[in-house]
Structure 1
């Protein structure tokens, strides 16, 4: 009841529907379509009664199970040409007879708008605070350059005055049928609308009407959409590999709503996310993370923050979140619902851990690059060490290569935090064969042109493998020794720990690869046999199944 006005919602639902057969009883995201209109109406703080008017026994039975009254239509009101007004009027009268009472406001809700919000329905009802108002109808803004057709002259004609950008067109609105609310005295067999009318404007999403299978697919996708919080960071010290991973993941999350949660101190991460146009919020301390999560209310949290602590993960799980971590060797990883690690070795008894290259997500730029063609001659070397290269391996590799008989192009790509980059560039600016780059946005172009890549045992190996570029790698630290992908079976020439690798050993292996076309071709073919195109799909398959189990046990 609103302002002493007793309110009835009438939901008309015929058994026969043309666009989608039996659509009102079909399961939309595991619930009959008609359930949504019933639930919206019953959840209103103002609606007193809800009645479904139908000519179909299955619709009637399902509606009664959801706790509403049902009016069985007579044959006279079941024909295709019967106006909606007569059906609503009949349902209202029948309901009033059974209730021995009259309603003050009657709302027609077509059950084809399952994304309508209960708050929107209540907002429409509140408009009747204006006693002069007779009806409220739902509309959606529809600015378009509309055209009409003259049947007599058989010509098309513009229905606009002046061609202009959509944002500059005059406001125009289209009825949605989700809400037609009218005072009782203005409802009869030929009309459900009064003369003094106001509108309630719906969002584009709420205004979607399920008329055909395309609409059904769109609505079901929206209903299945999850809110995902992504906790990740990037700065000059830790580099951008983790945030690059999350940006690549987020760029494919078109069916879900997500929010990046970034450390206030890490401006680099904020700049990268802003450049992509994704939403983000910043935090200062773990308490601030929890505040952001409480406001955003995600169902899923993704952590790509290196090693998580038990305290942090315990807090997330106590708050009821489904948690997925990436590349996490911390003690907190045991508490995650799933952990994806495309490089590091894990205890095989950890049933929540999914490892291997099948769970690597390529950056978008690597999806559309063709495979490298392996030529007889080597004319282009690329040196690229992961992170900020604290041991200056890039320069050591360069010096070693320059000491050989190789006399063709050498490109070096270093990270944002590479120390003394100006001095590094200055040392080799007189050498026309050497080019040093920092903060390169199009790494795949450089890698595709390279005949050999020299790198560390990091995820850069996956980039090279995706293009089939023969690769030499070394372990630059103890952590990289657990990167199991770095082996000859995957087309990688692994020279082991850099601390125990002599310059001459590197030179010998480098020259062997430069001069052995068959070896490079063999490495290339091994790389081509590895599927790195479906990491996102593989991760989503695991998360979907594990989240289903998680939701069932909540």
Structure 2
């Protein structure tokens, strides 16, 4: 205006709160024959046809061409995941972490017969309920995904053949799968299991995907004495280890030790266990948002053999572990050789308590030895390795 640049709005706001601002793409002009003259193609009554932003790219430079190529080659990603009290919800956490890594927002499917949507917590990702495998396959047929990720535990040959029949051009990636379906997958990541001879199976802790927030925390400094104990058995705790530990630590012998007990989204009888907060030295929390902050305030941990074990190892927290089920007994990383004290599946109370007492009384030097073993593993680079292999398919 008058030779000066002025804003095309009256009030300065974030772009999403401003009225729409259109730019002409020149993609097409549709006019009635009678308005077209040697001087104009535009009549008196003009309207616009809005095209999606990714279809409105004007190619004038090689940089523009590169941008268009990226749009044309954009992945269309789906994730199928289930989690509950029996299966655990580490799958849910991992699926949400993986979803954040793609440039295009994935569709996240879950089976309403197996998964309560509450276990996803608060998320901006698109969650799509399905009623069984047939419903899932019908949706996949319409969407034509280029990448399909399964995080549903063991897959069968039949399931994988059915999935490939509706998505013949998709790359199929499975997580934590020790079923026959791995033979039909393009990639399998089994961070919790031992090495496998199949070329498409990537096993071991170097493929563990940590929560993003853990990347910002350094390992704890080992103190002279144990003053605070972290206790958590994942999102479900089907063996009810939390209940057993809470009963133990109400003993007068532990009154000088602070205990932090974290319950997950799929845990039953949460309200009953919250009553233990009446003890001065016991804090029971539900669905903690900043787990690494809480863990880092503790000196030792007690956990199962799933995701939480890896998180404690990343922070160098000496820990006792026990398996939740026979499948967890096959998880290789959380073991004595790697710096944990593993006491098996469903150990007796006296075994749990004797190990807890031992850990509370361990010298600083002994806890430092445990920490050195825990920190000798590269658990921070897994996300990059996994995504590099997926994107390289």
- With structure 1 as the length reference, what TM-score do the two structures score? 0.62
Aligned to 1:31: none
Partner Cα distance (1:449, 1:442) in 2? 12
Query: Which of the numbers 83, 108, 111 marks the counterpart of 1:234?
Result: 83
Q: How does 1:504-515 map to 2 (within 5 A)?
A: 506-508=353-355, 510-512=357-359, 514-515=361-362
**What is the CA deviation profile of residues 268-326 of structure 1, one whole-angstrom value per residue up to 9, with x for unaligned ones?**
33x45583121232211211111111122101211111112222111112331321111
Shift, 1:479, TM fit: 1.7
State which of 451, 454, 459 in structure 1 corresponds to 2:307.
459
Alpha-carbon offset, residue 201 of structure 1 = 2.6
Q: Which runs of 4+ in 1 moved over 6 A?
A: 181-185
Deviation per residue, 1:170-203 (Å, 9 max, x gap): 6543222444678799687xx7x52326544322
- Note if contact 2:78-2:108 (Cα within 8 Å) is conserved in structure 1: yes
Give the corresponding residue for 1:478.
Answer: 326
Unpaired stretches in structure 2, ≥5 consecutive residues: none
- Answer yes or no: is the 8 Å Cα contact 2:175–2:188 preserved in 1: yes
2:385 counterpart (528, 534, 538): 538
- Counterpart CA distance in 2 for 1:231 and 1:374 is 41
Does residue 197 of structure 2 align to residue 343 of structure 1? Answer: no
Q: What aligned pairs does 1:261-280 form with structure 2 within 5 A after superposition?
A: 261-265=109-113, 268-269=116-117, 271=118, 273=120, 275-280=122-127
SS for the counterpart of 1:315 is helix
The answer to whether the 8 A contact 1:400-1:503 is kept is no
**Deviation of the 1:541 alpha carbon:** 2.2
- What is the CA–CA distance in structure 1 between the aligned matches of 2:62 and 2:255, rounded to whole Å? 62
Aligned match of 2:212 in 344, 357, 364? 364
Which secondary structure does the structure 1 equivalent of 2:23 belong to? strand
The runs of 5 or more residues in structure 1 that have no matched partner are: 1-147, 151-155, 548-554
The residue correspondences of 1:96-495 to structure 2 (distance < 5 A) are 150=3, 156=4, 158-160=6-8, 162-163=10-11, 165=13, 166=15, 172-179=21-28, 193-196=40-43, 199-211=48-60, 215-253=64-102, 255-265=103-113, 268-269=116-117, 271=118, 273=120, 275-319=122-166, 320=168, 321-345=170-194, 348-400=196-248, 407-426=256-275, 428-495=276-343
Distance apart, 1:229 and its partner CA: 1.4
**1:484-532 deviation line (CA, Å, top 9, x unaligned):** 1123443322233443x66257525642564321122233233334322
Asked whether the equivalents of residues 230 and 261 of structure 1 are also in contact (C-alpha less than 8 Å), the reply is: yes
Larger C-alpha radius of gyration, 1 or 2? 1
Aligned equivalents of 1:497, 1:537: Cα separation in 2: 33
Higher relative contact order (CA 8 A, sep 6+): 2
Query: Is this contact kept in 1: 2:321–2:334, CA < 8 A?
Result: yes
After TM superposition, the score normalised by the length of structure 2 is 0.85
Counterpart CA distance in 2 for 1:343 and 1:219 is 39
Supply the distance in 2 between the matched residues of 1:357 and 1:306 (Cα, whole angstroms). 17
> For 1:402 and 1:219, how far apart are their aligned partners in 2?
63
Do the aligned partners of 1:238 and 1:387 also contact (CA within 8 Å) in 2? Answer: no
Structure 1 residues 218 and 266: alpha-carbon distance in aligned structure 2, compared to 1, 3 A threshold: farther
On the 8 A contact 1:513/1:520 being kept in 2, the answer is no
> Structure 2 CA distance, aligned partners of 1:170 and 1:420?
49
Q: CA deviation at 1:362?
A: 1.3
- Indicate how the Cα distance of structure 1 residues 199 and 400 shifts in structure 2: closer, same or farther if over 3 A, else same: closer
Alpha-carbon distance in structure 2 between the residues aligned to 1:421 and 1:543: 38
Q: Does 1:521 align with 2:373?
A: no
1:496/1:385 CA distance change after superposition, 3 Å: same
Give the 3-state SS of the residue equivalent to 2:106 in structure 1.
strand
Distance 2:7 2:59 in 1: 27
- Alpha-carbon distance in structure 2 between the residues aligned to 1:502 and 1:360: 31
The verdict on how the C-alpha distance between 1:291 and 1:274 changes in structure 2, with shifts beyond 3 A counting, is farther
Question: CA 1:175/1:378 → structure 2, altered by over 3 Å: closer, same or farther?
Answer: same
Contact 1:452 1:471 in 2 (8 A): yes
Q: Residues 85 and 237 of structure 2 are in contact (CA less than 8 Å); yes or no, is this contact kept in structure 1?
A: no
- CA shift, 1:456, in A, is 1.2
| Count of aligned pairs between the two proteins | 386
Q: Distance in 2 between matches of 1:506 and 1:496?
A: 14
Residues 531 and 211 (structure 1), Cα distance of their counterparts in 2 relative to 1, 3 Å cut: farther
Structure 2 equivalent of residue 83 of structure 1: none
Whole-Å separation in 1 of the counterparts to 2:18 and 2:307? 50
C-alpha distance in 2, partners of 1:288/1:505?
A: 45
Q: Is the 8 A contact 2:189 2:203 kept in 1?
A: yes
2:85/2:238 contact within 8 Å kept? no
2:119–2:266 CA contact under 8 A, matched in 1 = no
Q: Secondary structure at the match of 1:440?
A: coil
